[in-house]
Amino acid sequence: MTICSPRTDSDSVETISGTTLGSGVIDMFIQSATLVIDSIATCASNYGVTDEQLSLAECWLTAHMISISDVGQANGTGVKKSETFENYKVEYAVSASTGQGVLSTGYGRTANSLTKGCLAEVDKRQAKVGFCGGAG
């Protein structure tokens, strides 16, 4: 079932992130990133962001989503800085960042830059809750 029409693909995400997740898992993250990029497309258009920039932003946003997820961290999306064989220990380099939301990773900051700040603006918005349905 395709929910949205993605602008990027799993090969591109693998290239920039170095993730070892399979394309099926990456595709789920791409769908999420596509929905977010779709939601800021009007804002981005107002700032003159091109379709090519949105495609790249979607790729970088996907990498961001993977890197902050439990699935992504468990499968080593970070840059390995050391590895020990006995008692098997692996350490990943983590960038020092004081940013929140999309600004918390280099991938997210790149995606935000490509959208001229529209992604960071979405992070600042108040969440809304809606209810639907009825008694029957």
* pLDDT tens-digit series, residues 45-97: 999 999 999 999 999 999 999 988 887 665 544 444 556 667 777 665 454 45
Of 1, 28, 84, the residue nearest 10 (C-alpha): 28
- Structural tokens at position 127: 């969440």
**Entry pTM:** 0.74
Beta strands in the chain (DSSP E): 79-84, 89-93
Residue 30's Cβ-side half-sphere holds a number of Cα atoms within 13 Å equal to: 22
DSSP per residue, 86-113? TTTEEEEE-------GGGGSHHHHHHHH
> Measured between alpha carbons, how far is 125 from 129 in angstroms, rounded to an integer?
13
